[in-house]
Protein backbone atom coordinates (compact mmCIF):
# COMPACT_ATOMS: atom_id res chain seq x y z
CA UNK A 1 0.00 0.00 0.00
CA UNK A 2 1.41 3.37 -0.95
CA UNK A 3 1.56 6.50 1.17
CA UNK A 4 0.84 10.07 0.09
CA UNK A 5 1.31 13.47 1.64
CA UNK A 6 -1.34 16.17 1.99
CA UNK A 7 0.51 19.46 2.42
CA UNK A 8 -0.96 22.95 2.76
CA UNK A 9 0.64 26.35 3.22
CA UNK A 10 -0.55 28.88 5.76
CA UNK A 11 0.61 32.44 6.33
CA UNK A 12 0.19 34.66 9.37
CA UNK A 13 -1.75 37.84 8.67
CA UNK A 14 -2.30 40.27 11.55
CA UNK A 15 -1.51 37.48 14.03
CA UNK A 16 -3.97 34.99 12.49
CA UNK A 17 -3.00 31.96 10.38
CA UNK A 18 -4.86 31.85 7.05
CA UNK A 19 -4.69 29.48 4.12
CA UNK A 20 -1.97 30.86 1.83
CA UNK A 21 -3.56 29.54 -1.36
CA UNK A 22 -7.13 30.70 -0.77
CA UNK A 23 -7.28 32.18 -4.29
CA UNK A 24 -6.60 28.71 -5.73
CA UNK A 25 -9.42 26.93 -3.89
CA UNK A 26 -12.16 25.51 -6.09
CA UNK A 27 -15.54 24.18 -5.03
CA UNK A 28 -16.72 20.97 -6.61
CA UNK A 29 -20.21 19.54 -6.33
CA UNK A 30 -20.43 15.83 -5.55
CA UNK A 31 -23.23 13.47 -4.62
CA UNK A 32 -22.38 14.19 -0.97
CA UNK A 33 -22.49 17.98 -1.26
CA UNK A 34 -19.83 20.57 -1.95
CA UNK A 35 -16.15 19.85 -1.66
CA UNK A 36 -13.47 22.57 -1.50
CA UNK A 37 -10.02 21.62 -2.75
CA UNK A 38 -6.85 22.78 -4.45
CA UNK A 39 -6.53 21.70 -8.12
CA UNK A 40 -3.71 19.21 -8.70
CA UNK A 41 -1.71 21.66 -10.83
CA UNK A 42 -1.63 24.09 -7.87
CA UNK A 43 -0.59 21.40 -5.37
CA UNK A 44 2.47 22.53 -3.41
CA UNK A 45 3.92 19.05 -2.96
CA UNK A 46 2.83 16.41 -5.45
CA UNK A 47 5.89 14.34 -4.61
CA UNK A 48 5.69 10.75 -3.40
CA UNK A 49 9.10 10.42 -1.83
CA UNK A 50 9.25 8.20 1.25
CA UNK A 51 12.65 9.54 2.27
CA UNK A 52 11.25 13.10 2.21
CA UNK A 53 8.30 11.87 4.29
CA UNK A 54 10.81 10.45 6.79
CA UNK A 55 12.70 13.78 6.87
CA UNK A 56 9.52 15.76 7.52
CA UNK A 57 7.90 13.47 10.11
CA UNK A 58 9.54 10.05 10.37
CA UNK A 59 6.93 8.45 8.06
CA UNK A 60 7.92 5.39 5.97
CA UNK A 61 11.34 5.63 7.52
CA UNK A 62 13.19 2.69 5.99
CA UNK A 63 16.67 4.19 6.44
CA UNK A 64 16.59 5.45 10.05
CA UNK A 65 16.41 9.05 8.85
CA UNK A 66 16.27 11.61 11.66
CA UNK A 67 13.24 13.82 11.03
CA UNK A 68 13.45 17.61 11.16
CA UNK A 69 10.85 17.34 13.93
CA UNK A 70 8.75 14.51 15.31
CA UNK A 71 5.06 14.84 14.33
CA UNK A 72 3.48 17.68 16.32
CA UNK A 73 -0.18 17.16 15.54
CA UNK A 74 -2.30 19.89 14.01
CA UNK A 75 -1.70 23.45 15.22
CA UNK A 76 -4.42 24.78 17.53
CA UNK A 77 -4.65 27.96 15.44
CA UNK A 78 -5.25 26.19 12.12
CA UNK A 79 -6.85 28.10 9.22
CA UNK A 80 -10.45 27.17 8.45
CA UNK A 81 -9.68 25.65 5.03
CA UNK A 82 -6.90 23.40 6.33
CA UNK A 83 -9.07 22.42 9.32
CA UNK A 84 -11.83 21.46 6.86
CA UNK A 85 -9.40 19.32 4.82
CA UNK A 86 -8.01 17.67 7.97
CA UNK A 87 -11.53 16.85 9.15
CA UNK A 88 -12.32 15.30 5.76
CA UNK A 89 -9.32 12.97 6.20
CA UNK A 90 -10.08 12.12 9.84
CA UNK A 91 -9.74 8.37 10.37
CA UNK A 92 -7.82 7.84 7.13
CA UNK A 93 -4.80 10.05 7.83
CA UNK A 94 -1.87 9.86 10.24
CA UNK A 95 1.19 11.73 11.47
CA UNK A 96 -0.33 15.22 11.39
CA UNK A 97 2.35 17.86 11.74
CA UNK A 98 3.59 21.29 10.74
CA UNK A 99 6.86 23.13 10.13
CA UNK A 100 7.55 26.81 9.58
CA UNK A 101 9.39 28.00 6.52
CA UNK A 102 11.99 29.32 8.95
CA UNK A 103 12.57 25.76 10.21
CA UNK A 104 12.79 24.41 6.66
CA UNK A 105 15.24 27.09 5.58
CA UNK A 106 17.30 26.85 8.79
CA UNK A 107 17.68 23.07 8.59
CA UNK A 108 21.10 21.81 7.44
CA UNK A 109 19.95 19.73 4.46
CA UNK A 110 23.51 19.12 3.21
CA UNK A 111 24.90 18.31 6.67
CA UNK A 112 22.51 15.40 7.27
CA UNK A 113 22.80 12.15 5.38
CA UNK A 114 21.71 8.55 5.45
CA UNK A 115 22.87 5.26 3.97
CA UNK A 116 20.66 4.06 1.14
CA UNK A 117 20.50 0.31 0.58
CA UNK A 118 19.09 -0.99 -2.68
CA UNK A 119 19.59 -3.11 -5.75
CA UNK A 120 21.09 -1.01 -8.52
CA UNK A 121 22.22 -1.88 -12.01
CA UNK A 122 25.80 -3.05 -12.19
CA UNK A 123 26.45 -0.11 -14.53
CA UNK A 124 25.13 2.41 -11.97
CA UNK A 125 27.20 0.84 -9.19
CA UNK A 126 30.36 1.03 -11.29
CA UNK A 127 29.65 4.67 -12.24
CA UNK A 128 29.14 5.58 -8.56
CA UNK A 129 32.40 3.88 -7.55
CA UNK A 130 34.28 5.60 -10.40
CA UNK A 131 32.94 9.16 -10.30
CA UNK A 132 30.35 9.37 -7.51
CA UNK A 133 27.24 9.73 -9.67
CA UNK A 134 24.15 8.67 -7.72
CA UNK A 135 22.47 5.51 -9.04
CA UNK A 136 19.46 6.46 -11.13
CA UNK A 137 17.47 3.24 -11.07
CA UNK A 138 17.04 1.55 -7.72
CA UNK A 139 14.95 -1.27 -6.39
CA UNK A 140 14.29 -0.97 -2.65
CA UNK A 141 15.27 -4.11 -0.84
CA UNK A 142 15.49 -3.40 2.89
CA UNK A 143 17.95 -4.96 5.30
CA UNK A 144 17.48 -8.58 4.14
CA UNK A 145 17.69 -8.25 0.38
CA UNK A 146 18.05 -11.83 -0.82
CA UNK A 147 19.54 -12.43 -4.27
CA UNK A 148 19.65 -9.47 -6.69
CA UNK A 149 17.70 -9.42 -9.95
CA UNK A 150 19.69 -10.09 -13.16
CA UNK A 151 22.27 -7.39 -14.01
CA UNK A 152 21.85 -5.79 -10.57
CA UNK A 153 23.82 -5.82 -7.35
CA UNK A 154 23.14 -4.96 -3.72
CA UNK A 155 24.65 -1.56 -3.08
CA UNK A 156 24.96 0.95 -0.23
CA UNK A 157 25.83 4.60 -0.62
CA UNK A 158 25.57 7.86 1.31
CA UNK A 159 22.89 10.37 0.33
CA UNK A 160 22.48 13.86 1.79
CA UNK A 161 19.02 15.06 2.71
CA UNK A 162 19.48 17.81 0.10
CA UNK A 163 20.15 15.28 -2.66
CA UNK A 164 17.11 13.22 -1.75
CA UNK A 165 14.78 16.19 -1.18
CA UNK A 166 15.93 18.09 -4.27
CA UNK A 167 12.44 18.37 -5.83
CA UNK A 168 10.95 19.62 -2.56
CA UNK A 169 13.75 22.14 -2.02
CA UNK A 170 13.71 23.39 -5.61
CA UNK A 171 9.95 23.37 -6.27
CA UNK A 172 8.04 23.62 -2.99
CA UNK A 173 10.23 25.87 -0.83
CA UNK A 174 10.44 28.68 -3.45
CA UNK A 175 6.63 28.69 -3.68
CA UNK A 176 6.43 29.00 0.11
CA UNK A 177 8.87 31.93 0.08
CA UNK A 178 6.37 33.94 -2.00
CA UNK A 179 3.79 33.80 0.80
CA UNK A 180 5.73 35.90 3.30
CA UNK A 181 8.54 36.03 5.82
CA UNK A 182 9.91 32.62 6.92
CA UNK A 183 8.56 32.97 10.48
CA UNK A 184 5.09 33.81 9.14
CA UNK A 185 4.71 30.90 6.72
CA UNK A 186 4.22 27.26 7.63
CA UNK A 187 3.32 23.97 6.04
CA UNK A 188 0.67 21.80 7.66
CA UNK A 189 0.67 18.22 6.48
CA UNK A 190 -0.42 14.65 7.09
CA UNK A 191 -0.16 11.34 5.32
CA UNK A 192 -2.55 8.70 4.02
CA UNK A 193 -2.11 5.05 3.12
Stated as kind and residue range, the H or E segment containing 85 is: helix 80-89
DSSP run (H or E) holding 166: helix 166-167
pTM (predicted TM-score) = 0.84
pLDDT confidence of residue 41: 59
Percent of the chain beyond pLDDT 90? 54
Contacts of 77 (CB under 8 A, 6+ apart): 16, 17
> Residue ranges of the domains in the chain?
4-106+181-192, 113-161
Mean pLDDT score of the chain: 87
Catalogue the E-assigned strands of the chain. Answer: 4-13, 16-19, 26-30, 33-37, 93-100, 113-121, 138-140, 152-160, 185-192
Residues 142-191: tens digit of each pLDDT: 666 778 888 898 888 999 999 999 999 999 999 999 999 999 999 999 99
Which of the four pLDDT bands, split at 50, 70 and 90, describes residue 47? confident
Q: What is residue 93's predicted lDDT score, i.e. its pLDDT?
A: 79
Q: Count CA atoms within 13 Å of residue 117 on its CB side.
A: 11
The mean per-residue pLDDT over the stretch 24-34 comes to 67
Amino acid sequence: MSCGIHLFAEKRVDGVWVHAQEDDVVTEKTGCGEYRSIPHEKDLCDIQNYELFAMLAGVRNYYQIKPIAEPRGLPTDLSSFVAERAEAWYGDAHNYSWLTLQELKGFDWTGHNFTRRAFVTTEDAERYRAIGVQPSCIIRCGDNPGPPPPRHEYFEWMVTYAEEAKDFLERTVPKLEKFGEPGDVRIVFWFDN
